[in-house]
């Protein structure tokens, strides 16, 4: 049945869905620590479940962008933020899959620093997403985005250290390739957080 209310407005729904998407992304980050501590099929199932929930949220957002006449933010901005958030659990699911492919080769690796940086990035990003509905001031949002940029820079520096240690180690070539792939995936997740933060700053800038 045609709904005029849905066609004309319902702006809170978009904020609700974006916040739900960010919460699923944070859940996927929290699952990373569990995966590293207790690798197994259950970890992969949990990661896939979170990613599936995130996909449903993204699909609903896309549908509402088509069926809602007036949106609280520009459509392309909502879509860009939803896409950036969606990539976080998707990339972490790929990490989990590859981590479990050859556990004996990679489970002794230390992912603690990357995990810490990722958690801090996701916590900051979730706060930024939740603040969107309150029409936050630009300086405060830029400050939080600066935090994301700093964390991404720290992740870059740590990545260089990890690669250096990897090439100096006595690991066999297969292990080197496997670990580098996993390091790259975690680096990409932190980059996704930075990308989402940049989108949010642009949204606030347009609406300030």
Q: What is the tally of structural domains in the chain? A: 1
CA–CA gap between residue 37 and residue 196 (Å, rounded): 28
Q: Is there a domain that residue 147 lies in? A: yes
pLDDT tens sequence for the chain (208 residues): 333 334 334 568 999 999 999 999 999 999 998 888 887 778 888 888 999 999 999 999 999 999 888 888 899 999 999 999 999 999 999 999 999 887 777 878 889 999 999 999 999 999 999 999 887 889 999 999 999 999 999 999 999 999 999 888 888 888 899 999 999 999 999 999 999 999 999 999 988 7
Q: Is there a domain that residue 112 lies in? A: yes
Q: Is there a domain that residue 90 lies in? A: yes
Give the pLDDT of residue 135.
79
CA–CA gap between residue 191 and residue 113 (Å, rounded): 15
Q: Is there a domain that residue 1 lies in? A: no
Q: Is 28 exposed, middle or buried (0-12, 13-18, 19+ CB in 10 A)?
A: buried
DSSP string, 61-113: HHHHHHH-SS-SS-HHHHHHHHHHHHHHHHHHHHHHHHHHHSHHHHTTS--HH
Q: Is there a domain that residue 2 lies in? A: no
Domain containing residue 72:
8-206
Give the pLDDT of residue 3.
37
Q: Is there a domain that residue 3 lies in? A: no
What three-state secondary structure class fits 190? helix
Q: What is the CATH number of the domain that holds 12?
A: 1.20.58.220
Q: Is there a domain that residue 89 lies in? A: yes
Q: Is there a domain that residue 123 lies in? A: yes
């Amino acid at each position: 049945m045609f709904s005029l209310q849905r066609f004309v407005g319902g702006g809170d729904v978009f904020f609700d869905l974006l916040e739900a998407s960010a919460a699923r992304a944070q859940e996927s980050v929290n699952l990373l620590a569990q995966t590293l501590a207790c690798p197994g099929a259950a970890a992969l199932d949990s990661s896939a479940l979170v990613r599936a929930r995130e996909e449903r949220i993204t699909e609903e957002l896309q549908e509402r962008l088509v069926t809602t006449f007036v949106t609280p933010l520009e459509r392309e901005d909502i879509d860009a933020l939803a896409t950036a958030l969606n990539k976080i659990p998707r990339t972490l699911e790929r990490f989990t899959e590859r981590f479990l492919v050859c556990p004996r080769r990679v489970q002794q690796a230390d992912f603690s620093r990357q995990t810490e940086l990722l958690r801090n990035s996701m916590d900051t990003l979730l706060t930024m997403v939740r603040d969107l509905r309150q029409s936050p001031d630009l300086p405060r949002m830029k400050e939080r985005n600066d935090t994301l940029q700093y964390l991404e820079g720290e992740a870059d520096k740590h990545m260089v250290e990890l690669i250096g240690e990897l090439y100096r180690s006595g690991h066999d070539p297969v292990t080197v390739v496997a670990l580098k792939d996993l390091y790259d995936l975690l680096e990409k997740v932190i980059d996704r957080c930075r990308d989402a933060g940049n989108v949010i700053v642009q949204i606030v800038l347009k609406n300030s």
